[in-house]
């Protein structure tokens, strides 16, 4: 019998409880006969109608001082008090499972190191891609590969909005309103639409793939708020769609290029077909080539199922560190993004701009806006040439 | 230092050796500091030009009697002598890693049980989907789910042939010749085009997902040799493509429906875009919904990278069984496929046939062949109605 504490009884926390209860029998089989029992649920709110109100506590000490509890699920979100609680639990020799991408992106390095020292695990499959298995494949199934590139649609909210703009010709504001009405976007949508959520996720993936801590604050990030209906329509003429993409490339010397921004994706690319709230992550390894993972990137049960998978994994490795880790290194290994070549989809303010880009492909014009696609050039060269004569979106090649 | 023996130095075996050498440094990091060293390569052939001819042996006893060897890679293929060797290695307390789907489908139950008794592992990620992580996600990341359905394009050769028929209007014989010319199909293509390869793979996946041994010999299997250019063209009119699909469904009582056959796949389905030699596997879980895994299903380095990932995993769990298993059960849990409802794409020999299928959708006719799609009905009812008046392909809904 393994005792579990759940910290945070919101959407994901209640999903974790539900799955542990519903699939109890099959889960016991999968742990090799160890039953998983929830002993505590930590939440400041009251849940008088819960089937087992005795599980609830408002006091973290109940959990940390209970030596029976060997697995703590942290699904509170945010840094405070999640960081302090997670650290304390690990230092007390308990396994910690989380879906909290903010915490992993900010303090994952330290928490994994403590887990290793304590011979327990800090696992975070649910922090990226919701229910889609990606952390575990990266840190296990693809281990034989040097990972050269990861790119993906990492945020369901923005993908829903952009899908609506592509399929229905909606403009950004209307698509956002609809997403809010359906509960796909928060009342304050900034974390999603400005790319901050995707930024943390790509930083986590890049850290895992490179073995070096990539600070999410150093990820150049652009959101989708400035994408217009016309951008979508002219991208369509090029047989492409616009999506918010997180990209990380790791060169043979271990230098890392990373970015979150909207990208123009030709329809021949598998990512172009990833619509609505779905996520997809493409990994390129030196041996395997391209492999893609696709599924629901958010939602109560998908995310909770990833958490519970980690709980089962921790139960199978109760005092064996799984060696999922990255290190902080001092030297600068980030590639200057201005030096990276790319093609650009341009919305220019006058017809003459295209003449400054040799080999550019003209896509036409509408209402005083001229659209074209450049040849490949560094971002520095591109921006110098364009100046303030237009807006642009990078092309995914 | 962990000593490894590779049995079989064909395409996959040489790829395993190559990856272990090329990525040696990073692999050592990933095992937590244990270096993996190839001590033996077993093959009856001579490789005088190899960089290290001293590794080669023709005598299995060298491996089995060497207590230093703790991981054996079996990439010989076939049942003889792979079965005998794998069993002996496991009984000697060595971990065995394989890409051999025939052996896993035939004797996996016994070999996993021996591994468990011996506290070692019998791992077979590379047996399904080449380099695509699927065995490990199924047996780990998706553990919190009751798996309800798995379906996928599991054979790259047939997918290449069918893609050529769809995209170029080639007929089967020409597409097969081209696949043979490019080395995607064997001189004797039967194992691929008759569906035997896909059959073993879906049996392995169904066994893992249900926890019960599904005998590959009991998987109803149809190949692609009878698909005509006209089938492809009329499916296109329905905005669908034809692919060879393995399907396994597991109902809430644990009853299993399984089949390998060509299917008509509407273009709205993600699988419709999986082309050429790529594979894709879609898994439906009760919590996660649909999740898809996509990549190269075969080839030297993709397959070898999956083998090496298992080698690393075994190195991290050198005397800890990972509890990846299924059991032989005596009672019959297979659903009679004739009772399962489906829609059917029909190529009928006369225009009157459609009248016997109420609600059927007429797709037109050409050269004395009439094409239509039926409403959903059981296979038994459908076959009784159609009789010998045509051929059919199931529709994937």
Report the CATH number at residue B223: 3.30.360.10
Structure tokens at A236: 């369509």
The last residue of a domain, from among A316, A345, A363: A316
Give yes or no for residue B198 having a pLDDT over 90.
yes
Q: Is residue B329 part of a domain?
A: no
Q: Count A/B contacts: CB-CB distance under 8 Å.
A: 177
| Nearest chain A Cα distance for residue B382, angstroms | 34
- B199 Cα distance to chain centroid: 7
Which pLDDT score, from 0 to 100, does residue B143 have?
86
Give yes or no for residue A323 having a pLDDT over 90.
no
Instruction: Report how many domains make up chain A.
Output: 3
CA distance B394 to B224: 13
A322 a catalytic residue: no
Report the DSSP pairing between strands A278-285 and A289-296: antiparallel
* A contacts of B289 (beta carbons < 8 Å): 131, 295-296, 299, 301-302
Instruction: Say yes or no: B179 and B118 in one domain.
Output: no
Structure tokens at A362: 């003209």
- Cβ burial of A312 (10 Å; 0-12, 13-18, 19+) is buried
Instruction: Say yes or no: B256 and B389 in one domain.
Output: no
What is the CATH classification number for the domain harbouring A12? 3.40.50.720
Measured N-to-C along each axis, helices B156-168 and B172-181 cross at an angle, to the nearest 10 degrees, of: 130
Chain segment A60-97, per-residue pLDDT in tens: 999 999 999 999 999 999 999 999 999 999 999 999 99
Instruction: Say yes or no: A15 and A55 in one domain.
Output: yes
Give yes or no for residue A324 having a pLDDT over 90.
no
Which pLDDT score, from 0 to 100, does residue A270 have?
87
B289/A273 CB distance under 8 A:
no
DSSP conformational letter for A218: G
Chain segment A97-115, per-residue pLDDT in tens: 999 999 999 999 999 999 9
Triad B97, B100, B103: Cα angle to 5°: 105
**B17 at A interface, C-beta within 8 A:** no
Q: Is residue A7 part of a domain?
A: yes
Give the mean model confidence (pLDDT) for residues B140-162. 93
**Regarding predicted confidence, which is higher, A298 or A210?**
A210
Three-state SS at B285: strand
- Phi, psi for A20 (deg, rounded to 5): -60, -35
**B126 at A interface, C-beta within 8 A:** no
Average pLDDT of chain B is 95
CA distance B284 to B288: 7
Instruction: Say yes or no: A125 and A178 in one domain.
Output: no
Least Cα distance to B342 among B363, B326, B357 occurs for B357
Confidence of residue A282 (pLDDT cuts 50, 70, 90): very high
Q: Is residue B254 part of a domain?
A: yes
| Nearest chain A Cα distance for residue B248, angstroms | 19
A144/B305 CB distance under 8 A:
yes
Contact B207, B127 (CB under 8 A): no
Give the mean model confidence (pLDDT) for residues B277-294. 95
Q: Is residue A324 part of a domain?
A: no
Instruction: Say yes or no: B159 and B290 in one domain.
Output: yes
Cβ neighbours of B251 (radius 10 Å): 12
Give yes or no for residue B129 having a pLDDT over 90.
yes
CA distance B143 to A326: 25
Chain segment A331-380, per-residue pLDDT in tens: 899 999 999 999 999 999 999 999 999 999 999 999 999 999 999 999 99
**A259 at B interface, C-beta within 8 A:** no
Q: List the single residue in A136, A287, A311 with the smallest CB-CB distance to B302.
A: A287
Lowest mean pLDDT among A73-87, A134-148, B259-273, B336-350: A134-148
Instruction: Say yes or no: A156 and A287 in one domain.
Output: yes
**A25 at B interface, C-beta within 8 A:** no
Instruction: Say yes or no: B90 and B141 in one domain.
Output: no
Contact B171, B229 (CB under 8 A): yes
Tell me the C-alpha to C-alpha distance, in Å, between residue B209 and each of A61, B126, B381: 39, 17, 30
β-bridge mates for residue A282, sequence order: A151, A292
| Nearest chain A Cα distance for residue B3, angstroms | 17
Instruction: Say yes or no: B146 and B221 in one domain.
Output: yes
**Regarding predicted confidence, which is higher, A311 or B30?**
A311
Chain segment B229-285, per-residue pLDDT in tens: 999 999 999 999 999 999 999 999 999 999 999 999 999 898 998 999 999 999 999
pTM recorded for the entire structure: 0.93
% of chain A residues with pLDDT over 70: 100
Question: Closest chain A residue to B287 measured between Cα atoms?
Answer: A301
Give the mean model confidence (pLDDT) for residues B114-125. 96
Instruction: Say yes or no: B33 and B160 in one domain.
Output: no
Q: Is residue B87 part of a domain?
A: yes
Which pLDDT score, from 0 to 100, does residue A141 have?
84
**B116 at A interface, C-beta within 8 A:** no
- Phi, psi for B74 (deg, rounded to 5): -105, 105
The last residue of a domain, from among A264, A296, A328: A296
Q: List the single residue in B137, B144, B322 with the smallest CB-CB distance to A137.
A: B137
**A141 at B interface, C-beta within 8 A:** yes
Confidence of residue B321 (pLDDT cuts 50, 70, 90): confident
| Nearest chain A Cα distance for residue B329, angstroms | 15
% of chain B residues with pLDDT over 70: 100
Give the mean model confidence (pLDDT) for residues A39-60. 96
Q: List the single residue in B211, B289, B307 with the smallest CB-CB distance to A29.
A: B211
Q: Is residue A329 part of a domain?
A: no
Confidence of residue A313 (pLDDT cuts 50, 70, 90): very high
Structure tokens at A373: 């696609």
Give the mean model confidence (pLDDT) for residues B323-331. 89
Q: List the single residue in A131, A142, A322 with the smallest CB-CB distance to B291.
A: A131
Structure tokens at B87: 């069993």
Q: Is residue A325 part of a domain?
A: no
* B contacts of A292 (beta carbons < 8 Å): 292-295
Instruction: Say yes or no: A156 and A286 in one domain.
Output: yes
Where in the sequence is the domain holding B113, given as residue range(s)?
2-130+300-316
The last residue of a domain, from among A267, A282, A316: A316
Instruction: Say yes or no: A90 and A209 in one domain.
Output: no
Q: List the single residue in A29, A292, A308 with the smallest CB-CB distance to B295.
A: A292
Residue of B94, B201, B212, B284 marked catalytic: B201
Q: How long, in residues, is chain A?
A: 397
Three-state SS at A374: coil
Report the DSSP pairing between strands A369-373 and A361-366: antiparallel
Least Cα distance to A152 among A288, A252, A290 occurs for A290
Task: Choose the mutation target among A19, A124, A140 for the interface with B, i.e. most B CBs under 10 Å.
Answer: A140
Confidence of residue B139 (pLDDT cuts 50, 70, 90): confident
A290/B287 CB distance under 8 A:
no
Q: List the single residue in B146, B289, B302 with the smallest CB-CB distance to A288.
A: B302
**B275 at A interface, C-beta within 8 A:** no
B140/A136 CB distance under 8 A:
yes
Q: Is residue B328 part of a domain?
A: no
Sorted by sequence, the CB contacts under 8 Å of residue B349 that are 6+ apart come out as B368, B369, B370, B389, B390
Instruction: Say yes or no: B110 and B199 in one domain.
Output: no
Cβ neighbours of B286 (radius 10 Å): 16
Q: CA neighbours within 13 Å on the CB side: how many for A83? A: 13
What is the CATH classification number for the domain harbouring B356? 3.30.70
B19/A287 CB distance under 8 A:
yes
Sorted by sequence, the CB contacts under 8 Å of residue A43 that are 6+ apart come out as A7, A8, A9, A13, A56, A58
CA distance A105 to A127: 9
CA distance B278 to B330: 36
Tell me the C-alpha to C-alpha distance, in Å, between residue A170 and each of A163, A229, A244, A372, B354: 9, 7, 17, 22, 42
Which pLDDT score, from 0 to 100, does residue A50 have?
96
Structure tokens at A331: 């030297």
**A290 at B interface, C-beta within 8 A:** yes
Question: Closest chain A residue to B143 measured between Cα atoms?
Answer: A309
Give yes or no for residue B393 having a pLDDT over 90.
yes
**A285 at B interface, C-beta within 8 A:** yes
**A304 at B interface, C-beta within 8 A:** yes
Three-state SS at B326: coil
**B254 at A interface, C-beta within 8 A:** no
DSSP conformational letter for A394: E
Least Cα distance to B261 among B345, B148, B179, B382 occurs for B345
Chain segment B74-96, per-residue pLDDT in tens: 999 999 999 999 999 999 999 99
Sorted by sequence, the CB contacts under 8 Å of residue B284 that are 6+ apart come out as B147, B148, B149, B150, B290, B291
Which pLDDT score, from 0 to 100, does residue A350 have?
93
């Amino acid at each position: 019998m393994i005792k579990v504490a759940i910290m945070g009884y919101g959407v994901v926390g209640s999903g974790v409880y539900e799955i542990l209860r519903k699939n109890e029998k099959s889960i016991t089989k999968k742990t090799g006969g160890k039953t998983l029992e929830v002993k505590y649920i930590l939440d400041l709110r009251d849940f008088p109608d819960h089937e087992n109100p005795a599980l609830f506590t408002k006091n973290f000490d109940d959990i940390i001082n209970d030596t029976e509890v060997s697995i703590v699920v942290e699904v509170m979100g945010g840094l405070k008090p999640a960081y302090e609680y997670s650290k304390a639990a690990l230092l007390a020799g308990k396994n910690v499972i989380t879906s909290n991408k903010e915490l992993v992106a900010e303090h994952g390095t330290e928490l994994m190191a403590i887990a290793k020292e304590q011979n327990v695990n800090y696992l975070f499959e649910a922090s990226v891609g919701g229910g889609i298995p990606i952390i575990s494949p990266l840190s296990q199934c693809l281990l034989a590969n040097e990972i050269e590139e990861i790119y993906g649609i990492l945020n369901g909210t923005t993908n829903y909005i952009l899908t609506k703009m592509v399929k229905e010709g909606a403009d950004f504001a209307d698509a956002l309103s609809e997403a809010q009405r359906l509960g796909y976007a928060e009342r304050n949508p900034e974390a999603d639409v400005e790319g901050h959520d995707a930024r943390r996720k790509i930083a986590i993936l890049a850290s895992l793939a490179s073995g070096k801590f990539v600070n999410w604050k150093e990820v150049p990030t652009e959101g989708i708020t400035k994408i217009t209906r016309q951008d979508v329509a002219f991208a369509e003429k090029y047989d492409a769609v616009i999506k918010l993409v997180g990209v990380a490339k790791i060169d043979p010397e271990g230098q890392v290029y990373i970015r979150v921004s909207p990208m123009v994706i030709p329809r021949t690319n598998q990512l172009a077909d990833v619509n609505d709230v779905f996520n997809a992550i493409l990994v390129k390894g030196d041996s395997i080539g391209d492999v893609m993972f696709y599924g629901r990137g958010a939602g109560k049960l998908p995310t909770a199922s990833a958490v519970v998978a980690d709980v089962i994994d921790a139960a199978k490795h109760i005092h064996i560190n799984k060696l999922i880790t990255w290190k902080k290194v001092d030297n600068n290994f980030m590639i200057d993004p201005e030096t990276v070549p790319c093609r650009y989809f341009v919305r220019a303010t006058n017809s003459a701009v295209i003449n400054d880009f040799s080999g550019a492909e003209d896509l036409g014009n509408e209402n005083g806006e001229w659209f074209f696609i450049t040849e490949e050039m560094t971002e520095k060269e591109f921006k110098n040439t364009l100046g303030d004569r237009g807006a642009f979106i990078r092309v995914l090649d």
